[in-house]
Structure 1
Amino acid sequence: MILASASPRRKEILENFGFSFKTVVKNVDETSNKDTVKEKIMEIARKKAIAVAKDFPNENVIGADTMVVINNKILGKPHNRQEAFEMLKSLSGKNHEVITAFSFINLEKNITYCDYEITKVYFKNLTDEEINWYIGTNEPMDKAGAYGIQGKGAFFVEKIEGDFFSVMGFPLGKFVRFLSESGFDLNNLEKI
C-alpha cells in the first residue's frame, strides 16, 4: 500500500493501526471547481491518489485531504501568524465541521473509491492570550483551521461529535470498514 500524503498525522494513524505502507507524494493542484465542500475535498483526495497511482498502477494507493469549515467558509492552512490568529478567533466559542476525505485507488484492479467523514468540533471561548500562546508554539502553521486536536490545540476543544481520527487527518473507522466490506483481509494489514 502507498500513502500519497506527507502528513505525519496520517502516517501515525495508519501505522498505529498496523498498516504497512510506503509514502510517495506528488505535487498536485489542491484546488477544485466543484460546488460543495464535500465534492471539493473528495476531488482533491482523488487527485493526490491518482497522481501516485499512475506511477504504481498495481499498488493500492491512498490519498486524503482535510478541511475545516465554519459558516460555509473553508479554513485552510494559515499562511502567517495573523491568519492563524484570525482563524482561531473565528472558531472561538463556536462549533465547526472538520471534513476529511480519502481516496483508495488501484488502477490495475480498476478500484476507485472515495468517501468522507464529517466531525463536529466545539471550541471553548478563547482569549487573545491563549491564541497568541498557541501560535507561539508554531503548531498551527501546517494545519487546516490552524489547530491540531492531537497536540496542544486539544486545549481549545470542549467536545467533538464524530470520528477523532478524522479531525486528526484520516477517517480510520470509515476506511477500515471500506476495506472489510470490499473483501480485504484485516488479518493481513501489511499485505493490503
Structure 2
Amino acid sequence: MLILRSQSPRRKEILQSLGLHFQIQPLPTDETSLHEETPVRYLERVTLAKLGPKSDTPEEVILASDTIVVFQNKILQKPADVSEAFSMISELSGKTHQVYSGLGIMTDREKIFEYDISEVEFHAWEKSEILEYIKICKPYDKAGSYGIQDPNSPAKNFQGSYSNILGFPIRKFFLYHTLWSRFL
C-alpha cells in the first residue's frame, strides 16, 4: 500500500497524474522553524517528521513532502492572514527567490530524504495588484503566499522543476521508482 502523508491537493493531483494508487493519511506535524535552522535542515526535519513512526509492514511505502519558499535565507511559510500574505508577496515582488520541496520515503527497511530547489522570479507588483491576487486566489495554504499555477500568478519566470514549485519534487521521486512502481 502506498500512503501519502499530505492533504495538499497539488501533491494528490501530481501522484494521480502518474497513475499511482494511494491512500491519503496525513499526520499532524509541528512546522515551527527552530532558531538558526537552515532551510535544508528545516525541510529535512519536517519532511521526515511527516512520515511518522517506522512502518513494520513490508507492503507499505509511505511518502511525505514539504515545500518552503526561501528569500535571502529566510523561510516564508504559509500566511496566517491577509496581512501576512500581503507582506510576503510585497517582499518577493520584482525579485527572485527559491522554492525547496522535500521528499520523504519510508519502507520497513529504510527512510530516505531528498530535496529539490527551483528559482522563481516575481513580477514587480503594485499594492492593488497584490491585494487583488490575495482576494481572488486566497493563498493561505501555500508557502510564500502564492501558487505558480494560479490565474494571474505573481510568478514571472522560473528555473528548475515546475512540479517542485507546485509542492512535489518529482525528479527526486523518480530516482526511487523501484520502491513505488508496483503501485501503478
**TM above 0.5, one fold?**
yes
Segment drifting more, 27-36 vs 61-70? 27-36
TM-score by length of structure 2 reads: 0.91
Cα deviation code 1:131-182 (max 9, x no counterpart): 010111143111110001111253x212111000010000112111232xxx
1:127 corresponds to which residue?
Answer: 126
Structure 1 residue 67: deviation in Å? 0.4
RMSD: 1.9
Structure 1 residue 121: deviation in Å? 0.3
- CA separation of 1:150 and 1:138: change in aligned 2, threshold 3 A: closer
- CA separation of 1:130 and 1:58: change in aligned 2, threshold 3 A: same
Q: Distance in 1 between matches of 2:65 and 2:86?
A: 26
- Name the one with the larger helix percent: 1
2:84 corresponds to which residue?
Answer: 83
- CA separation of 1:70 and 1:153: change in aligned 2, threshold 3 A: farther
1:177 corresponds to which residue?
Answer: 175
| 3-state SS in 1 of match to 2:63 | strand
- CA separation of 1:153 and 1:30: change in aligned 2, threshold 3 A: farther
| 3-state SS in 1 of match to 2:176 | helix
1:36 aligned to 2:38?
A: yes
In the alignment, structure 1 segments of 5+ residues that lack a partner are none
Give the aligned residue type for 1:40: Y
Segment drifting more, 79-88 vs 135-144? 135-144
| 3-state SS in 2 of match to 1:148 | coil
| 3-state SS in 2 of match to 1:142 | coil
1:158 aligned to 2:153?
A: no
Cα deviation code 1:99-126 (max 9, x no counterpart): 00010001x2x12110000000001101
- CA separation of 1:185 and 1:114: change in aligned 2, threshold 3 A: closer
Cα deviation code 1:48-95 (max 9, x no counterpart): 0124x5586741000110000101111111111011001000000000
1:22 aligned to 2:23?
A: yes
1:99 corresponds to which residue?
Answer: 100
